[in-house]
Structure 1
Amino acid sequence: MTAPIAGANAGLNAGLFERIIARRRRRSRRRHTSWAMVALFVLPSLAIYLLFMVYPFLGTIQLSLSAWDGFAPDKTFVGLGNYLALLNDGDFWSALRNNLVWAVVGTAAPLAIGFPLAVLLWSGSRGRLAFRAIYFLPVILPIVVIGLVWGWIYNPLFGVLNTFLEAIGLGDLAKGWLGDPNTALIAVLIAAVWATFGFVVVMFLAGLQGIDMNLVDAAKVDGANSAQRARHILLPGIAPVFTFVLTITLVGAFSVFDIVYVMTRGGPGTATETMAGYAYKMAFARNFAGYGAAISMVIAAISLVLAVLLLRFRERGRG
């Protein structure tokens, strides 16, 4: 009796062992299949990112350390020479000053306009959907169209602004707004704010949707006015969205190029020239590609520092 029982146990153990091995093989195949699927979805995106983002960025770093006119077959390595030349370049500092003005006005104005409008739309005013569409319309318009439209508004001969001033008896104030060094930058900034604030309104409105109305109602019962509710409930409630919008607008202020180029080409003189416009001019108009690349790297460094500081500020606020 012992021998048949032992044989049966051995057979059962062998069958159990084979099933365990088969199960492990199936798991291994599934694991390999899952990794293959991950690679199938990730590798194309990674390849595109490396090809169109990382490789050009590394190439720009290398170019910024060289002297090259954009046509010669060889580049001359100059080390930090381009960066040192920036320190004594008055046009660069003028462009940086314009970017700083843009960062202050072009960031504060959309936030100051966008937040109250978002609160009004969120509070249940009539025609919310229509107003949302109207506010967001400038965001979806091509920046070239916006620049051309505002260029016509500022036109000294038939522009809407000068025509309006003359109609109300203020013709003495009419001028070539984009041709006057004292008003050109502000004129372009007004157009840029108009193009940006709709995005801010929509983003703030999306953030406000997540605020608990019970908190707002309780604050009203306790006697809090609109400003107090905005300060202690609404702004803290949209803090992540606020930080995101602040980062986008502030970083964008140091890389702005398109609307300035369309409206003024950086003129008159250097009154509206930004760092990005100056980099473009040096690289493609004056054929100092290495110098233009160095300016681009300065823009990238400023943007990176600002983004990191704002993200750390956001994380500290969460903590």
Structure 2
Amino acid sequence: MALRGQVAQRQRGYGWFLYPGVAVLVLFFFGMFFWNVGISLLKWPGYGPAKWVGFDNFRIIFENKDFWESWSHAAFYVIPFSLLPTAFGLVLAVATYDAFVGRFGSKLVPVARTGFFLPQIVPIAVSGMIWMWMLDGSGGALNSLLDGLGLGSLTQEWLREPDTALLAVSAFMLWLQTGFAYVVFLAGLSRLDPSILEASQLDGANWTQRLRWITGPSLRPEAFVVLLFLTVGALKVFAPVFYLTGGGPYSSTTSPATFAIDSFFGGASVGIGSALVTTLALIIGGMLGITFLIVRLRARVVKRDA
């Protein structure tokens, strides 16, 4: 008991290192959030006097079909922004671990890690410009490649047609986020005992079987973190859409974040834009709260069964 008391007293001293960060978080995050909530209850163009309208701004956005269309796009973006990068990142990380660590040596792992993580390092404005050049309908790299291969019939105005624009943004998101999942999974594989994989290979397990029964299950904590992080990012995605299509054409690629920015600056309605941002923050906060409760309940069940 005395030792436990000494440990608890020592840990309480660490709080002084956390208090400044907590104070900044409360001041700049929660303070700005409640300030934004206050603006969402006003009719205000961003200058001059404001008029109290209560929840009319929320009623307006809920009756706006463009609002629901942006959320349908956000739900779709979960696939290329979260689900597919998680799956591809897992497969690439396991393949890298098997090939480099098992055959060629771990010295090549940093090279592969840097290559796959490069899209996360390059400024997204630069990445968006490169992708716009590649997907340009007149003289873009992709259409030029298709023409060179004799597949000119497949050329498209990739960023000017609603269906192809949505697919182009999805491909951009997949390329952008796979490296993040890859690095997280590769770090998780560092705690895997190589002797287990060697034993499975001696028992005749192929690569798919090892992924299904050994490496895959061992990376469940990392998979949970990656899925949660990227799913939240898909719901509030802004930069990939803004830099590649700006939400067009014909609002076919808008997300809730780009819709809110358009309402702020394009529609000169700060109150409606604040209502959009407040709604987005509450939905994401609710998702995080539910996830936290599920994790806590699962931890209690595991602890009780143990």
Q: Residues 51-110 of structure 1, C-alpha deviation per residue, up to 9 Å, x if partnerless?
A: 32111011111122222111123x322222222222210111111111111012321221
Q: Alignment length, in residue pairs?
A: 284
Q: Rg: which structure is higher?
A: 1
Question: Residue 6 of structure 2 aligns with which residue?
Answer: none
Distance in 2 between residues matched to 1:317 and 1:119, nearest whole Å: 27
Matched residues in 1 for 2:178 and 2:150: separation? 31
Structure-2 separation of matches of 1:205 and 1:60: 39
Determine whether 1:249 maps to 2:249: no
Matched residue, 1:90? 65
TM-score, normalised via structure 2 length = 0.86
Match of 1:240 in 2: 221
What residue ranges of structure 1 are gaps of 5+ in the alignment?
1-30
What aligned pairs does 1:278-297 form with structure 2 within 5 A after superposition? 278-297=259-278
Q: How much is the aligned-residue C-alpha RMSD, in angstroms?
A: 2.1
Match of 1:173 among 142, 145, 154: 154
The Cα of 1:268 is off from its aligned counterpart by 0.6
Distance 2:252 2:29 in 1: 32
Matched, 1:301 2:282: yes
For 2:22 and 2:196, locate their aligned partners in 1 and report how far apart those are by CA, in whole Å: 44
Q: 1:156 aligns with which of 137, 147, 169?
A: 137
TM-score, normalised to structure 1, is 0.82
Once the two structures are aligned, what percentage of the paired residues are identical? Answer: 32
**1:215 Cα offset (Å):** 3.2
Q: Which runs of 5+ in 2 are unaligned?
A: 1-8
Cross-structure match for 1:120: 95
Residue 227 of structure 1, CA deviation = 2.7
- Of 273-282 and 309-318, deviating more is 309-318
Alignment match, 1:17: none
Cα distance in 1 for residues equivalent to 2:115 and 2:298: 33
In the alignment, what sits opposite 1:264? 245
In 2: Cα distance, 1:96 partner to 1:148 partner: 26
- Counterpart contact for 1:243–1:314, Cα < 8 Å: no
Contact kept? 1:60, 1:297, Cα under 8 Å: yes
Report the AA paired with residue 90 of structure 1.
Answer: K
Deviation at 1:231, TM superposition (A): 2.4
Residue 185 of structure 1 aligns with an amino acid whose one-letter code is: L
Provide the rounded CA distance (Å) in 1 between the counterparts of 2:195 and 2:25.
45
Check whether the contact 1:67–1:289 (CA below 8 A) recurs between aligned residues. yes
1:313 Cα shift?
A: 4.4
Residue 72 of structure 1 pairs with residue 48 of structure 2: yes
* 8 Å Cα contact 2:90-2:185 kept in structure 1: yes
Counterpart amino acid of residue 95 in structure 1: S
Q: 2:173 aligns with which of 184, 188, 192?
A: 192
Matches of 1:317 and 1:221 in 2, distance apart? 35
